[in-house]
Amino acid sequence: MQREEVVDACGCCAESSIGPSRFSEERVALIRQAFRLEWLTIAWMTVEAVVAIAAGIAAGSLVLTAFGLDSVIELASAAVLMWRLRVELQQGHAFPEEVERRATRIAGGLLFALAAYVTVAAIWSLVTRQGEVFSWPGFILALIAIPAMRYLATRKLAIAEKLGSRALRADAMEAVTCGWLSFVVVIALAAQWAFGAWWIDGVASSAIVWLLIKEGREAWLHQECCGDGEC
């Protein structure tokens, strides 16, 4: 009998038995929709990572560089999701829980590492009183990313609920985080352009650190909660 993951009230994973009839044409259609969303995610995140990191380095912007590095993490998340979806589509059962737990812990660890990098860089920027040069490519990229991430997050959350997939929901939360990061980048760059304050980049980076730690902590605790199969 096939096993399917569902999410309980506290956000942890639980398993419920489902018969072969549950792997219906409707479920297959939902998985294919999720595939299309992941391909869109990979395409956009590739562009976002290249442009944001290049613009961030050129402008000396912490928020832009961190934005680009977050895109790389989301690329990894999308790749794991496509693997999980492909296995269910081909074999008719959920992605192995052990592999999913390991992927969740890696994602959380990467978010913590990124938070540490941004924290050190922000402190260095404030101590040395070094700001960044305004970046039009980075500003336009972040503006476009806000509605793009809203669309991806909304669609992924809706499909995750119907599939009962914790992995897809976690991937959707990556898109939510990226949307907030986009907003922070827009505010930081706009304020720097308008007022020319050297400290804006370092301060704005603090907001990103909070978001990264929050998402990393949730991923790590979620993995521990489900590590023994007890939710």
Is 55 inside a domain boundary? yes
Is 218 inside a domain boundary? yes
- Say which residue the tokens 């072969």 belong to: 20
Residue 129, pLDDT > 70, answer no
Number of domains in the chain: 1
* pLDDT at residue 60, as a whole number: 80
Using pLDDT thresholds of 50, 70 and 90, give the confidence band for residue 224. low
User: How far apart are alpha carbons 104 and 146 in whole angstroms?
Assistant: 25
Count of other CB atoms within 10 angstroms of residue 39: 12
Is 231 inside a domain boundary? no
- Say which residue the tokens 């929050």 belong to: 214
Cβ-contact 28, 89 below 8 angstroms: yes
**Considering only CA atoms, which of 213, 189, 209 is closest in space to residue 200?**
189
Q: Give just the sign of the alpha carbon dihedral 138, 114, 165, 161.
A: negative
This model's pTM is above 0.85: no
Is 95 inside a domain boundary? yes
Q: Greater confidence, 168 or 108? A: 168
- What confidence tens digit (pLDDT) does each residue in 6-16 have? 444 344 444 43
Q: Tell me which residue range forms the domain holding 35.
A: 2-226
CATH at 73 = 1.20.1510
* pLDDT at residue 8, as a whole number: 44
Least confident of 56-60, 87-91, 185-189, 190-194: 87-91
Is 143 inside a domain boundary? yes
* Mean predicted confidence (pLDDT) in 20-28: 69
User: How far apart are alpha carbons 188 and 72 in whole angstroms?
Assistant: 21
Cβ-contact 217, 11 below 8 angstroms: no
Least confident of 82-86, 129-133, 185-189, 212-216: 129-133
Rounded to 5 degrees, φ, ψ at 18 are: -130, 145
Is 52 inside a domain boundary? yes
Q: 229: Cβ–Cβ under 8 A, 6 or more apart, which residues?
A: 15, 97
Structure token digits, residue 126:
């404030």
